[in-house]
Structure 1
């Protein structure tokens, strides 16, 4: 035990604690190379998943101008106290932490909520496992939807969308299913390539459906949240995509009512 030592530091940040903690306690950790590309070149999941103790991750990083690789395991996660313990964690650069804080400060959210007449279960099912119906349901705004990786309904699946978000201009984007919460009927989609990424460094859309009655035949509430970071200050807020999901929601609601 004589060879065991301890180093500790404390940094004040302006970012909310929940957002900063989530970077290190969830799948969002894979974004670190985007946040601090000169210091972190890659973070890949080697074993397990991103959010449980025992998971193993592989890091490629630069320290003192030397390129290094390291595997580390998540030893413990304490949600209540917002702490994560990593065994053999090799990254110790405070500048990278400061860059991460600056990045998080630029992340913004916009959201919209709509009341629908369709049941929460049926509406949620369209986005959970029946996305292939969307070009049929909304031919005016969704021209094509293809599954490029996975089964199209599980975390990690990648889809390619061809759609019209504003005017008569078609856009193509690829998205991955980042998370699924069956209990709260919520799905998060992160855009990884395409037109959207030309304007936004990160872009995640989350849909959550809440039943207003028993969840089967009563009306429901649909909330869309878009979390984004602009490529630069000249880029406008993605309000056109908020308008897009409102139209999408109304079309899906009408389809479900007409095909009940």
Structure 2
């Protein structure tokens, strides 16, 4: 059994929270056009974008390397504006086990916050915590947010 880890971040967003939820739920394949320096592609492998059980393959550049992530959309809650992705194949699960990413929006009166949480297991203490991956996810989120702010 691995060492369980959880890393989370909250990012205040300037664009419409409903738009961001819609992008990450139903329009994942458009993220590569919004931030091509980070994401090179998003391909639907099975199912329909925006439905639980669908499978997606991401190609992205992380820490200077071309990477792949194949994920199943484990759950979607439109009311809570939450999505859970579980990686079943790819570069991260080649090293880390039980990798899961959760996106949700915490709507406050004064600001909307995109919240990301990644959960995973490290097989041993030699593998680092995925702090840099969370920083990468935050960066992607900011670029998608800026894209929608600039469209206004």
TM-score, normalisation: structure 2? 0.94
Q: Which residue of 2 aligns with 1:44?
A: none
- The answer on whether the counterparts of 1:150 and 1:157 sit within 8 Å (CA) in structure 2 is yes
Is 1:117 the equivalent of 2:9?
Answer: no
TM-score (norm 1): 0.56
> Residues of 2 paired with 1:152 and 1:173: CA distance?
16
CA shift digits 1:123-142 (9 cap, x unpaired): 11101101111010010000
**Structure 1 residue aligned with 2:129, among 237, 246, 258?**
237
How far, CA to CA, are the matches of 1:225 and 1:181 in structure 2?
Answer: 16
Structure 1: segments with no counterpart, 5+ residues: 1-102
Match for 2:138 among 228, 234, 246? 246
Aligned-pair Cα RMSD in Å: 1.5
Specify every segment of 5 or more residues in structure 2 that has no aligned partner in the other structure, as ranges.
Answer: none
**Do the aligned residues in 2 keep the contact of 1:118 with 1:219 (CA within 8 Å)?**
no
Assess if the C-alpha contact under 8 Å between 1:198 and 1:231 holds in 2.
no
Structure 2 counterpart of 1:227, from 113, 119, 139: 119
For 2:93, the equivalent position in structure 1 comes to 197
SS at match of 1:252: helix
Q: Matched residue of 1:121: which SS?
A: helix
> Residues of 2 paired with 1:255 and 1:160: CA distance?
22
Residue number among 78, 84, 105 corresponding to 1:209 in the alignment? 105
Q: Which structure's CA Rg is the greater one?
A: 1
- Determine which structure has greater relative contact order: mean sequence separation of CA pairs < 8 Å that are 6+ residues apart, divided by chain length: 2
- Alpha-carbon separation, structure 2, partners of 1:237 and 1:121: 31
Aligned-pair CA distance for 1:178: 0.8
Residues 61-92 of structure 1 show CA distances to partners (whole Å, capped at 9, x for unaligned) of xxxxxxxxxxxxxxxxxxxxxxxxxxxxxxxx
Alignment: residue pair count: 152
Secondary structure of 1:177 counterpart: strand
Q: Is the 8 A contact 1:119 1:211 kept in 2?
A: no
| CA distance, structure 1, for counterparts of residue 50 and residue 137 of structure 2 | 19
- What's the secondary structure of 2:20's corresponding residue? helix
Provide Cα deviations, 1:99-118, integer angstroms capped at 9, x if missing partner: xxxx4x83221101111111
**Offset at residue 219 of structure 1 (A):** 4.2
Give the conservation status (yes or no) of the 8 Å contact 1:173–1:196: yes
Equivalent in 132, 135, 158 of residue 55 of structure 2: 158
Return the offset for 1:182. 1.4
Query: Is the Cα contact below 8 Å between 2:25 and 2:83 reproduced in 1?
Result: yes
